[in-house]
Amino acid sequence: MDASPLILLAAGGTGGHLFPAEALGVELIRRGLRVRLVTDSRALRYSGLFSKETIDVVPSATVRSRTPWSLAHTGLMLAAGSAVSLNLMRRLKPAAVIGFGGYPTLPPVLAARLSGVPCLIHEANAVLGRANRFLSRHVSAIATSLPGVLDRDPALAGKTTAVGTPMRPPILEAAALPYVSPQPMGLFRLLVVGGSQGARIMADIVPGAIERLEPSLWNRLMLTQQVREEDLPRVSAVYGRLNIKAELAPFFSDLPARLASSDLVVSRSGAGTVAELAAIGRPSILVPLPGSIDQDQFANAGVLAQADAALRIVQADFTPDRLAAEISALAAEPARLAAMAARARSVGRLDGAERLADLVMKVAGI
């Protein structure tokens, strides 16, 4: 049996949590360590570094409402997850556990703490998420993607290190491709993505915006859009009527390459998306997901907006008219797009996996 140290990576079952965990896993394996993923059942849909044999599914639930029944259900699920996680600690004897955010990280990280296993968390957003906020006082170290996230909390700032966001190999490959400005009368490649929670608004707004563009831009446009299955017929009908060159799908497995080949990206502003746009260096229009308690996506988009690398449009202002105006203006200014791309790249970091691996090994005493 392989006696090399084992690191447990705990992450919520969405790409924003799983992709940094996967990137760190690649780097830890390169250094001769073993890794396993502790997550919820959603992660089984993702392919990549982790196979079913290296994934431990732990019961968990998110706080979706403050009703007594909902809170009781969440509490019971987290308690069940904690029991399963304590058994994992006894059976696997990991050298360290690192949480990447989301409620599924609570049981394994708390179980690690109770079992005397060194543990740390990574926060990809510009503000600390709810699960990580709770765990922050129970871990040995905190890693953040961005500097200054906990500067206002002296009790936590002393154990916080800004390491960047770990990037998967496909992102690193895409980052090696330079941005090439669109020619004035050449193809204009527009990529529209929304993430697991944002594709509906893109289906509602983007087709109307495309319809409002000048016909001369229709002829140049090459559109790639993430569209949910239930929205495909209505979105496809608009683009078909306008004779737009469009590729529509609910999911793109080669998204890093598509980001790299785009002239402009319209997207939600999840932490992973913003970090990847910065790492690859591509101009964007970002629409933060509204309604979250900590407004993390608004803060994430602000990182690129303040660098003049992106336009941040709050959802209330994200209308077909506004989007059409912004796309038209940017398509007419290739030099502006190139400058935005360069500024995005100046914000990005490519060594997040290495820096986080260094911190994990330090906390684990390896």
Q: Which domains does the chain possess?
A: 6-167+350-364 (3.40.50.2000), 173-347 (3.40.50.2000)
Does the structure show a pLDDT above 80 at 203?
yes
pLDDT over 70 percentage in the chain? 92
What single-letter DSSP state applies at residue 101? S
Residue recorded with tokens 């330090």: 362
3-state secondary structure (DSSP) of residue 57: strand
Which position has the higher pLDDT, 103 or 305? 305
More confident residue, 40 or 127: 127
* Contact predicate 264/327, CB 8 Å: yes
- pLDDT tens digits along 59-110: 766 655 567 766 666 667 767 778 889 999 999 999 999 999 888 899 999 9
What is the 8-class DSSP label of residue 9? E
- 117 pLDDT tier (thresholds 50, 70, 90): very high
The model carries a pTM of 0.87
Tens digits of residue pLDDT in 266-284: 999 999 999 999 999 999 9
Distance CA 312, CA 303 (A): 10
Percent residues over pLDDT 90 in the chain: 72
C-alpha distances in angstroms, 329 versus 201, 212, 216, 225, 341? 22, 13, 13, 20, 16
CB 10 within 8 Å of CB 35: no
From residue 211, give the alpha-carbon distance in Å to each of 5, 54, 101, 230, 248. 56, 47, 39, 21, 16
CB 43 within 8 A of CB 13: yes
The C-alpha angle 222, 224, 230, rounded to 5 degrees, equals: 135
Q: Which two tokens stand for residue 14?
A: 């969405």
